[in-house]
Structure 1
Amino acid sequence: MKTVYGPFDELSNDDALSWNFPDDPGAGGHRGRYLWTDAFGVVNFITLFKETAKPKYLTLAKRLVTTVHDVLGRTRDGGKRLDGATDEEPLRGGLRIGKMDAKGHDGDGQYHHYLTLWMFALNRLSIAADEVEYNDLAIQLARSIHPRFLMHCLSGDVRMVWKITVDMKNVLVQTEGHLDAATGYVVYKLLQSTAAKQGHRNGVLNQEISDYWNLMTRKGSLSPGNDFLDLGMGLWMCHIWRDEPWAMKLSDKALVRVEELLGQDSAVMHRSASQRLAFREFGTCVGVACWDVNDYLESRVAALVQFWDKHLDSKDTEDELKPISRVMYATALNAGAFRRGYLENDE
């Protein structure tokens, strides 16, 4: 975490209140911010707070949230908030991904799965700090972006897209993101549940949750996938509502697939570091950490982490991927606040 967010371990709590996170490379994105990496960063700071009981780590989580909203909640030149947002409602315009390029096939925009992960980070902060405002910000973001990612077809069907423009007015990628609807259902339901426990806004996301449920329960929509990150984040998502039948079924399938991917005979596990992506594999570690698994699978996750202990800083690892890899490596070591039930007042 220090390699991405600076030498924060010697800070006093007063110093943490004004801490400026480095922006070169920072989280590795535009102006030093990348939404996916920083979502992990916020949750990791909350884990550090819980593990050490040092208030400065909670302060740093809040500072990082403010920094992300001030950079990715504004246009690329920083001159104004994104369309629809105001000082009173800073997330009404969504949040940029933080891609280095403004346009192009891998240019800036808004990703549904990044936004839902950021909502989760805000929810964790709301619970850890016992401050309603952060969950309310997550709900503000949730309501604002939801209709922008839903497409109403001439046939009357509704489907999702997974990438839209920064101003949320146009679709950049027409296809649906795998498990985006299910993740939307999981996170929006979590936000609504937390709001109810906080004593206000009952049923605030009922319509959005219903929309996601209808999308995720279409025939063939729920499958574990074959990618390390997809499997891991799917397992994480399922554990939040682990007692629901769909989550039980999907997680059972995903754990079988993970055991195959991480197995001693898996060809993937015998590839060189240059043929693998650390952050995607750490996603699997995070997902597995959210479940009680057998000793063999635990040993295979440990083997994966040990492999990257030796290769994370190798020349084969692209510089632009080092921040996301390092922050997710920290989560792989201790998934902490990613696990529901880790924080008080969370169940």
Structure 2
Amino acid sequence: MNDIEQTTANAKTLMRQFAKRTGLDPENDQTSQRYLWTDAFALLNFLALKKSDGSNVNQDSALKIIHEVHHHLGKFASNDPRTGWISELPEEKAKNHPTVKGLRIGKQLPERKPEEAYNQQLEWQRDGQYFHYHTRWITALLKAGELLEKEEFAKWAAELSLAGSYFIIHKNNDISMHWKMSVDLSRPLVPAMGAHDPLEGLLCALQAREMSEFYNEEFDIYIEDLKLLCQYSNWQTEDALGIGGLLLNVIRATELQKKMDLPDAVKPESLLRVVEQSLKAFYRSYEPEKSAEYRLAFRECGLSLGLRCLKGNLEFLEKNGLKPDIDSEIWSIADEIEAFWLSPEHTQVSTFQDHLDINQVSLAASLLARKAPHIYSRTH
């Protein structure tokens, strides 16, 4: 078995375990456990596996996870006094528009009530809607629609994108954004903006509009708001997961730039320069021998996924005038991260087991991106 075959086999094992634990395995009657961030990458993983071996099993898993996400996270939770679809549309119409008013995170605790005091630590455990999780699911839906030839998936992605307009606030001639809203999108739960939310929101909105041919005045206004927010944003970061997202966005922006003129702040050339600076800053404090107890696998695998995708798209980037300036030592980080988290001794620590689903799914994504980088970074 060569290296790529072994890598794919490792990813298959990780995804098989995830499917059994979360109620996706047809031979397991376990209750479905859905979490939007994890499921977005899981969907892409099943699509990558389907592309790799043509298996109907992986296609069925991809279709099932879409159905389960929409029918669980598109509805109020079982511990919520409200029932039915978040959109409050009649049942049949809601099924045809499952994302029209967003999707829940999937946290176990109910959202904070209006009269409850804000508790920063507890807020991470409470339900609601995350803007950044929306963008992950939009990207996954668009890719699923393309590969599985399902036009309605692009429509659902566009409707979910437009739900992001609820996160934007206009006040006193100023514009701002919240990264967490209540389940019904009526009030902010965290009155702050995610560092890369406007960037990801804009790229997703432009891709969803282009692929779904969903045009209306409200969507145009939303896109203009995102452009304005991007104008005053700084994308540089030393966070592994944040850099991984930027790496993917360089590729997505390059693809979009071929079809439309992007704002200066999100042009691929600008994003690439920020990525190069961020990677150098990250590498200065990178500790590959650091104990697993003090590391978060899903954050590191987000970086290795981004590096895999950028490397796998170098020819595409160069054809479009981009040539990344990244040292060989930085490229090798992806190998080091994957090898570290494939070691059984490192996956037994509490920091891995406490986030088992997202850790395994993120690792599988990084592994699969060696062979199929386009699944995670391009719409075509």
- The TM-score with structure 2 as length reference comes to 0.77
* Partner of residue 303, structure 2: 284
User: 67-76 or 243-252, which moves further after superposition?
Assistant: 243-252
Q: Does 1:177 align with 2:194?
A: yes
* Partner of residue 322, structure 1: 356
Distance 2:153 2:359 in 1: 26
Q: Does 1:149 align with 2:157?
A: no
* Partner of residue 230, structure 2: 216
Q: Does 1:125 align with 2:144?
A: yes
Q: Does 1:70 align with 2:89?
A: no
1:1-347 residue pairs with structure 2 within 5 A? 1-6=15-20, 19=26, 32-77=33-78, 79-85=83-89, 86-103=94-111, 104-106=122-124, 107-143=126-162, 145-154=163-172, 156-196=173-213, 201-202=214-215, 205-218=219-232, 221-242=233-254, 243=257, 246-262=267-283, 266-292=285-311, 295-310=328-343, 311-335=345-369, 336=372, 337-340=375-378, 346=380
User: 102-111 or 166-175, which moves further after superposition?
Assistant: 102-111
Distance 1:207 1:298, change over 3 A: same
- SS of 1:159's equivalent in the other structure is strand
User: 171-180 or 204-213, which moves further after superposition?
Assistant: 204-213
- SS of 2:169's equivalent in the other structure is strand
Distance 2:86 2:144 in 1: 23
Per-residue displacement from partner, 1:18-74 (whole Å, max 9, x unpaired)? 9377757xxxxxx61110000001011111111112233222111100011111111
Structure 1 moving runs of 4+ over 6 Å? none
Q: Give the aligned residue type for 1:150.
A: I
Per-residue displacement from partner, 1:206-235 (whole Å, max 9, x unpaired)? 3322221111012xx132211111111121
After TM superposition, give the deviation of residue 331 of structure 1 in Å.
0.7
Structure 2: unaligned runs, 5 residues or longer: 1-14, 112-121, 312-325
After TM superposition, give the deviation of residue 306 of structure 1 in Å.
1.1
Aligned partners of 2:74 and 2:99 also within 8 Å: yes
Distance 1:22 1:288, change over 3 A: farther
Q: Give the aligned residue type for 1:279.
A: F
Q: Give the aligned residue type for 1:313.
A: T
Distance 1:295 1:32, change over 3 A: same
Q: Give the aligned residue type for 1:303.
A: E
Q: Give the aligned residue type for 1:229.
A: L
Q: Give the aligned residue type for 1:66.
A: H
Distance 2:358 2:140 in 1: 16
Distance 2:199 2:169 in 1: 16
Distance 2:366 2:29 in 1: 23
Structure 1: unaligned runs, 5 residues or longer: 9-15, 25-30
Distance 1:161 1:180 in 2: 9
After TM superposition, give the deviation of residue 241 of structure 1 in Å.
1.2
Per-residue displacement from partner, 1:290-337 (whole Å, max 9, x unpaired)? 223554332222012111122442233353301100000001112231
Aligned residues between the structures: 318
Aligned partners of 1:224 and 1:250 also within 8 Å: no
* Partner of residue 13, structure 1: none
- The TM-score with structure 1 as length reference comes to 0.84
Root-mean-square deviation over aligned CA pairs: 2.4
After TM superposition, give the deviation of residue 279 of structure 1 in Å.
0.2
Aligned partners of 1:229 and 1:282 also within 8 Å: yes
Aligned partners of 2:244 and 2:303 also within 8 Å: yes
Distance 2:223 2:282 in 1: 32
Per-residue displacement from partner, 1:229-251 (whole Å, max 9, x unpaired)? 11111211221012565332222
Aligned partners of 1:262 and 1:301 also within 8 Å: no
Distance 1:225 1:312 in 2: 26
Q: Give the aligned residue type for 2:85.
A: R
- SS of 1:152's equivalent in the other structure is strand
After TM superposition, give the deviation of residue 97 of structure 1 in Å.
0.3
Distance 1:62 1:188, change over 3 A: same
- SS of 1:151's equivalent in the other structure is strand
After TM superposition, give the deviation of residue 109 of structure 1 in Å.
0.3
Distance 1:195 1:20 in 2: 35
Distance 1:49 1:209 in 2: 33
